[in-house]
Amino acid sequence: MWVAVLSTVTLAIAFWYWRAHRPQEVALIHPTVAAITETIASSGRVSGVIETMVGAPVSGIVERLFVAEGDRVTAGQQLAVLERQVAEARVAQAKQAIRTAQAQLAELESRPLASEVEAAREQVRQARAQLAQQRATVLQHQQAVEQAQAQLRQLRAELELAAMQRERAATLLERDYIARSEYDQAETQYRVAQQRVASAQQAVEVAQANVRAAQAGVQAAEANVRASEARLRTVQIGATPEEVEVARQRVADAERALQVARQQAAEAVVTAPFDGIITAINAEPGQPVGTQGVVRLVSSELEINVDVDEAYLADLAVGQTAIISSSAYPGDVFRGQVSEIAAAVDPARGTVTVTVMPRQPPAWLRPGQTVNVNIITAEAEPRLLVPASAVRRSADRTVVLVVENGLALEKVVITRPPTDQGIPVLAGLSAEDRIIADVQGVTAGERVVVR
């Protein structure tokens, strides 16, 4: 009996060992060849080809605003106007300066009329008469000064006499030779003499000031005579070429000043530099605005910026077609074209920015919107395809398993993103190769049998 039990246990252990170490059965397949379209799928952000803040070259207060957020505008269209009263006043002043300069130039360039010559002569006569009158006035005031000075000298002598009499009266009063009233009379006469001297001194100063004023009038009258005589000579013989050139230069300077004033006034008008959409209003009427601009303008021509993993750089090329869609508008698909690939890779994210220009974009496409982008890198390209179950990652490699001498061995392959038909293999396999159809549970290096 014990022999029978021992035999049974031995058979069970042998069966278990055989089951544990028997080779795993696997199925082998050949890669298939199919024409597939390869794409790089990502999301992108819609933006204007040009986006800018639009304002005036100068800061100011918004006077009028002609647009609202969401408005479409054309190049050159007025968007807003800043307060410009000061600039317009400068324009008016510059225009008046031009008229004055032109009148002076015309006067210099024209031949003198007999009436103009006679008028110039009359101005000279009047100027000379005024000069003679001013000189006579100087003499009169000088005489007044002399008279005032003589009066002052006389009054000073009287003051000295009054001082002596007051001093004598004070001495006599101390000795009781005179009455107090006599001393008081002497004191009063002394004080009156002082006041008369002060008044006379003031009269002298006033007379001297009149002389200086009259002398200044003489100088002004002499300058007027010289100017009148020079104008008479100009009228008689005409302006010199130098004077005419100076007058012309004044006209040119005034015209340039008008251009500057008009430019300053025009700078207060904010216009659209290109066709686009107003996406933001930064200042309402009555609010100050600076360098940030009055509005934000996005060009009507849109573009889509897509961040693509740098691993796909070799597959990207300008001119490739992209299929664009939005989850908000399912079924509404349109095409675009790769117009630019960024010159640098973002080192932090390991991506490169690809710019896609939409072709005939739908009306719902707006700046700032997120869309789905599939860039077609190869269209109807023959590729080897293997099922997803035949591929796996091993460390940092993509591998399939082949059978050699009854062992499952890894074979490194280069693949593309999976498609509905399978995983495309670019390198590492040929159509004649046979690979394990399902690598789940199969370990590299283990013994297998093909069923």
Residue-wise pLDDT for 277-320, tens only, equals 888 888 888 888 776 788 888 888 889 999 999 988 988 999 99
Same domain, yes or no, for 79 and 175? Answer: no
Token reading at 210: 């009149």
Q: Residue 354: pLDDT above 90? A: yes
Token reading at 347: 């080192």
The full length of the chain comes to 451
Same domain, yes or no, for 29 and 61? Answer: no
Token reading at 236: 């008689």
Same domain, yes or no, for 161 and 62? Answer: no
Q: Residue 146: pLDDT above 70? A: yes
Q: Residue 68: pLDDT above 80? A: yes
402 close to 433: Cβ distance less than 8 angstroms: yes
Does residue 14 sit within a domain?
no
Q: What confidence score (pLDDT) does residue 15 get?
A: 46
Same domain, yes or no, for 139 and 218? Answer: yes
Q: Residue 6: pLDDT above 60? A: no
Does residue 190 sit within a domain?
yes
Does residue 307 sit within a domain?
no
406: left (phi over 0), alpha (psi -120 to 50) or beta: left
Same domain, yes or no, for 223 and 280? Answer: no
Distances (CA, A) of 135 to 122, 125, 145, 332, 446: 20, 15, 15, 102, 134
Q: What confidence score (pLDDT) does residue 239 get?
A: 61
Weakest-pLDDT range from 8-17, 111-120, 307-316, 393-402: 8-17
The verdict on pTM exceeding 0.75 is no
Scored b (16 or more CB within 10 A) or e, 131-165 reads beebbebbeebbebbeebbebbeebeebbeebeeb
CATH number at residue 276: 2.40.50.100
**Cα–Cα distance between 249 and 256 in angstroms, integer?**
11
Does residue 424 sit within a domain?
yes
Does residue 416 sit within a domain?
yes
CATH number at residue 441: 2.40.420.20
Which of 84 and 64 is assigned the larger pLDDT?
64
Same domain, yes or no, for 117 and 31? Answer: no
Q: Residue 265: pLDDT above 70? A: no
Question: 3-class secondary structure for 69-135?
Answer: CCCEECCCCEEEEECCHHHHHHHHHHHHHHHHHHHHHHHHHCCCCHHHHHHHHHHHHHHHHHHHHHH
Q: Residue 410: pLDDT above 80? A: yes
- Is beta strand 435-436 parallel, antiparallel or unpaired with respect to 423-427? unpaired
| Mean of pLDDT values over 84-94 | 70
Same domain, yes or no, for 186 and 229? Answer: yes
Same domain, yes or no, for 29 and 79? Answer: no
Residue ending a domain, choose from 237, 259, 284: 237
Work out the burial of residue 287: count CB atoms within 10 Å of its CB; fewer than 13 is exposed, 13-18 middle, 19 or more buried. Answer: exposed
| Mean of pLDDT values over 24-48 | 88
Same domain, yes or no, for 31 and 65? Answer: no
Q: How many domains does the chain have?
A: 3
Domain of 286 in residue numbering reads as 51-83+268-296
Selection from 64, 68, 66 nearest residue 280 by Cα:
68
Q: What confidence score (pLDDT) does residue 399 get?
A: 93
Helices 180-237 + 114-174 axis angle, to 10: 170
Same domain, yes or no, for 277 and 233? Answer: no
Work out the burial of residue 73: count CB atoms within 10 Å of its CB; fewer than 13 is exposed, 13-18 middle, 19 or more buried. Answer: buried
Q: What confidence score (pLDDT) does residue 176 get?
A: 86
Residue whose tokens read 């395809």: 385
Confidence of residue 418 (pLDDT cuts 50, 70, 90): confident
**Cα–Cα distance between 62 and 87 in angstroms, integer?**
15
192 close to 209: Cβ distance less than 8 angstroms: no
| Mean of pLDDT values over 72-77 | 89
Q: What confidence score (pLDDT) does residue 13 get?
A: 52
Q: What confidence score (pLDDT) does residue 103 get?
A: 81
Same domain, yes or no, for 29 and 64? Answer: no
Q: What confidence score (pLDDT) does residue 125 get?
A: 93
Does residue 285 sit within a domain?
yes
Q: Residue 111: pLDDT above 80? A: no
> For the chain, what percent of residues have pLDDT higher than 90?
33
Does residue 186 sit within a domain?
yes
Does residue 278 sit within a domain?
yes
Same domain, yes or no, for 181 and 218? Answer: yes
